[in-house]
Amino acid sequence: MIKVAIVDDNTFLLHAIKEKLSFFDDVIVKHASINGSDLLIKLEENHNLDLILMDIEMPVLNGIETTQMVKQKYPHIKIVMLTAFDNDEHIFNAIKAGADGYLLKEINPKDLYEGIKETLNGGAAMNPSIAMKTLKLLRNPIDIKNPCDQEEISLSDREVEVLEQLSKGLSYTVIASNLFLSPSTVRKHIENIYKKLQVHSKIEAVQKAKNHNII
């Protein structure tokens, strides 16, 4: 059985999607949400889910932000954007957020079903016109900056230095030795880095730093 959730603020379209899926016996719609935070609450209770069909434009928490958060916490759950619009920025941001596919709402039941199957099989579900847009994006890499990532992050020079070493997978003691510091100092720097970046582990710190072009 394929366990699916749907997120869409338009209840009419939501029912339309449900109906399309109803033709297939091996697909079960576990739950539906009207926005991102609604979904996150449901996932907290139960994350036994294979795939999420996600609208983009929603109140409270939009599809892009929601995708990013779900993928961070539950990387095993596939996410396919299912939306009415196909403008470049939406597509690019959805992909950056970690979406595994991008389909248009006008899709017919069979193609939707096959897209879901392909996605669960490790592929990406993509409408041909969307596929063409991704090809163009690859050919002509435009720098679309992330407007939501504008929190001020200011690390000191020393902290950046430590972060750089962290990103190479070195341990506290090795970093201390490299920078001619006491391990205690390195640990203190890392503590401060974590606080500034609001993270709680090496990997998260390195990830966030890379996203913000700090390293």
Contact positions vs DNA (CB under 7 A): 154, 156-159, 171-173, 181-185, 187-191, 194, 200-202
H, E, C per residue of 25-65: CCEEEEEEECCHHHHHHHHHHCCCCCEEEECCCCCCCCHHH
Q: What mask, x for binding a second copy by CB under 8 A, covers residues 39 to 58? A: --------xx----------
Considering CB distances under 5 to 8 angstroms, the limit depending on partner class, which of a second copy, DNA, none binds residue 150?
none
Q: How far is the CB of 207 from DNA (least distance, A)?
A: 12
Cβ proximity to DNA: between 15 and 200 the closer is 200
Positions 94 through 113 that interact with a second copy (CB under 8 A): 95-96, 98-101
**32 binds a second copy per the rule CB under 8 A:** no
**132 binds a second copy per the rule CB under 8 A:** yes
The Cα 100–Cα 67 span in angstroms is 10
DSSP 8-state assignment for residue 122: T
**74 binds a second copy per the rule CB under 8 A:** yes
Q: What mask, x for binding a second copy by CB under 8 A, covers residues 139 to 178? A: x-x-------------------x--xxxxxxxx-----xx
Chain position carrying tokens 């609208």: 55
Concatenated DSSP letters of 169-197? T--HHHHHHHHT--HHHHHHHHHHHHHHH
The Cα 150–Cα 145 span in angstroms is 10
DSSP 3-state assignment of 79? strand
DSSP 8-state assignment for residue 86: -
List interacting residues with a second copy (CB under 8 A).
47-48, 71-76, 92, 95-96, 98-101, 118-119, 121-129, 131-132, 134-135, 137-139, 141, 161, 164-171, 177-180, 199, 201-204, 206-207
